[in-house]
Each structure stands twice: as C-alpha cells, then as structure tokens.
C-alpha cells in the first residue's frame, strides 16, 4: 500500500502571498489531520477532516483553512503569508473507524517545507 503523499515537497513564497498544499492519504483512510512543525513550537495540530467535514481545529488564525474531497484527499490553504508561517507542514492519515483502536494509528506523509521570504 502506498503511504501518505504530499505535494509539493518544497515551496518558497513571499509575504502576503497565499499557498495551497495537498495531501493524499493511505488508500482506505478517511481521516486527514494537518500539523505545523517549527523548531520553536514543535508539532502543533492545525485541523482534522473526516468524510469531508472539519472535525477538530487547533489554535491557528483564520488564515489557515482546509478542505477534504470525496476521495479523502485534502488540501490546506494559508492566505496572506507571514514570515512566521515558515515551517514543515505535515499531514497524517488514519482509517478513522470507530470502536477499534488500531484503526486510529496516524501515519505521516513526508511533509511540505514552506519558506516565506
């Protein structure tokens, strides 16, 4: 089975621009979560999508948004980029079935390294 894939792998943008990142989960996984990783703050949860609905949201400004499509692929958008948005953006997928703990292991993609100049 192919793992979680993310595109693009690297991105350089300037302040004020917007960016869209894409994540394809493991086949059969219905849940996609997004995380931001920085040296200062570590790994922080952004949001989770399950069956095309946002289920959870972390403490990030409204400039960070996302969506999920019917095939479980997800996109994350950051508008009006700031220097502090430079980070590794990771997505993770899980099967998301209720009642069986093993279905809730999260597997990460390789990440998108975003640099804001």
Interface residue list for other proteins (CB under 8 A): 31, 33, 35, 42-45, 48, 50, 55-56, 58, 90, 92, 94, 96, 101-102, 104-111
SS (H, E, C) the chain: CCCCEEECCEEEECCCCCEEEEEECCCCCCEEEEEEEECCCEEEEEEEEECCEEEEECCCCCCEEEEECCCCCEEEEECCCCHHHCEEEEEEEECCCCCCHHHHCCEECCCEEEEEC
Minimum CB separation of residue 44 from other proteins in Å reads 8
Minimum CB separation of residue 40 from other proteins in Å reads 10
Q: Which is nearer to other proteins, 39 or 62 (CB)?
A: 39
Residue with tokens 């399950």: 50
Q: What is the token pair recorded at 109?
A: 């993609």
Q: Which is nearer to other proteins, 13 or 107 (CB)?
A: 107
Minimum CB separation of residue 83 from other proteins in Å reads 23
Minimum CB separation of residue 70 from other proteins in Å reads 18
Q: Which is nearer to other proteins, 22 or 45 (CB)?
A: 45
Is 88:112 a contact under the CB 8 Å cutoff?
A: yes
Q: Which is nearer to other proteins, 35 or 78 (CB)?
A: 35
């Amino acid at each position: 089975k192919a793992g979680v894939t993310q595109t693009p792998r690297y991105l350089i943008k300037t302040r004020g621009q917007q960016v869209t990142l894409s994540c394809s989960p493991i086949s059969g996984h219905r849940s996609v979560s997004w995380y931001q990783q920085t040296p200062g703050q570590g790994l922080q949860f952004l949001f989770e999508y399950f069956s095309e609905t946002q289920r959870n949201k972390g403490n990030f400004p409204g400039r960070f948004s996302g969506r999920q499509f019917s095939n479980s692929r997800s996109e994350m958008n950051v508008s009006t980029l700031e220097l502090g948005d430079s980070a590794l953006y990771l997505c993770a997928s899980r099967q998301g079935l209720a009642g069986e703990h093993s279905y809730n292991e999260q597997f990460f993609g390789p990440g998108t390294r975003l640099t804001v100049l």
